Amino acid sequence: MEAIVHVTGGKIRGRTENGISRFLGIPYAAAPVGPARFQAPAPVAEWPGIRDALEFGATCAQSPYPPPIDALIGSDGIPGDDYLNLNVWTPEVGGSGLPVMVWIHGGAFTRGSNARTMYDGTTFARDGVVLVSINYRLGISGFAVVEGAPHNRGLRDQVFALEWVRRNIAAFGGDPGNVTIFGESAGGMSVLDLIASPPARGLFQRAIAQSANGSTVATAQDAAEVTRHLAGLLGIEPTAAAFGDLDPARLRAAQDELARDVMLDPDPARWGATVIANGFGVMSLFPVIDGEFVLARPTDVLAAEPDRTVPLLIGWTAEEYRFFTFLTGAAAGITEQVLPFAVARYGLDPTVVATYAANRPGASPADVFCAIITDLAFRDDALRIADSTSRASNPTYVYEFAWRSPVADLGACHVLEIPFVFGRPDALPTLTGPNPPRAIADDMHGAWVSFATNGSPGWTPYDTDSRIIRVFDAPESADVPLPRADDLHALRQARPKP
């Protein structure tokens, strides 16, 4: 059965099945092509008649993931110009007052889209939530510092999409005054950027950050060095006009070459200290400090200005970095002799290895490395932001996803929790194995819905004294004092002093 709604731009036609209406590929901004690719998002043009919203829309130009990751989670790539689009799932077109959740996908700010099967919003709509998933500009288009173009175009897109939600979501039964933003990895980092960003103020009331940190921002000066390298690869001047003349395929190829160059030679003198340190030697294009959308690292902004915080649910997977280390084959090169140097590459005092190794008898050097960098890149920042939010007397909830995938050496790795959050644990068997525990999915999905609906996921709030967090695992999940607190203390002692 069809469902028709009037939104900014005109009427759209969706489809209703089993009581859930879905509208796919709705443009929330004008197509960013040619010179517009490097300008701020602009309003969408009116269309005549009724526009079909029955298929997923285009995605920002990107290359497939490297083969091991592509085989595990797949890649994105729907061609087309209208890639600033969003999807809506709702249980009640024409209703009112339903909680709204806006999903921001991950992908290291260079990949990903809202069209993935595991991001299907049907389960949220089934449980009374209007679910919105958005696309935004990625890579060079979204985050390169380019002369003649505004910074942080990808974040500007996200704010533009949230403004669209505020204006239009009531037509889908949603309450524009009860919006929760949530995202994972780069999407979770975007969530933290938006909490700290003045232009996003008031566009949402709660936030969920999965597997994120509040440190992945660079100075504009350092990011400009990256752009000069890109321009050199392309044989152009580093200007918006020159980049805008290129077709997406050339941008994509240069972006891929840049990523390889940074990973093979993570030299701060070449790329800028903040690009290497805050991108963890893996990411090369991500948000920059511009004094408008990004004032400083969100971790620092929220510590200094706690009034910017909002009710927060934040967490990580227990073994995030296995995704980047074992899946890529890098683990084989981390021997006992190499481990101290591998840790030092991330700016840590190698003495930190002793604590982590002592707490993991029998663990391989690669296991120890993954534990350290998981805490460095995810857990430490998440807890700092939880501390700031709690001190501001905003409701704060912290979780750890500890269930270990039976697939290869993945363990409780990055990305693993997403099918559980969406209440579809069997949506990605290449990642979870054939029989993931339904009980964890019911628990997590229900908690996310509850937090978006009434502000509580149903477990013990976090505070800086008790530090109680929710650990999701089988055979059952539980509220426990912060696990591995001595690891975290050692890590903080090993970090470079400001």
Catalytic machinery residues: 185, 320, 414
- Taking the C-alpha atoms of residue 214 and residue 385, their distance in angstroms, rounded to an integer, is 8
What one-letter code names the amino acid at 63? Answer: S
Nearest Cα neighbor of 5 from 124, 178, 132 is: 132
- Taking the C-alpha atoms of residue 447 and residue 126, their distance in angstroms, rounded to an integer, is 15
Q: Secondary structure of the chain: what % helix, strand, coil (to 5)?
A: 40, 20, 40
Is-contact 121 131, C-beta < 8 A? Answer: yes
Query: Packing angle between helix 380-391 and helix 485-494, nearest 10 degrees?
Result: 100
Distances (CA, A) of 310 to 133, 207, 429, 452, 455: 21, 7, 35, 12, 11
Q: Which two tokens stand for residue 355?
A: 């604590």
**3-state DSSP assignment of residue 159:** helix
Please state, as a whole number, how many other Cβ atoms lie within 10 Å of the Cβ of residue 122: 17
Nearest Cα neighbor of 279 from 185, 152, 145, 398 is: 185
Q: Which two tokens stand for residue 84?
A: 């600033």
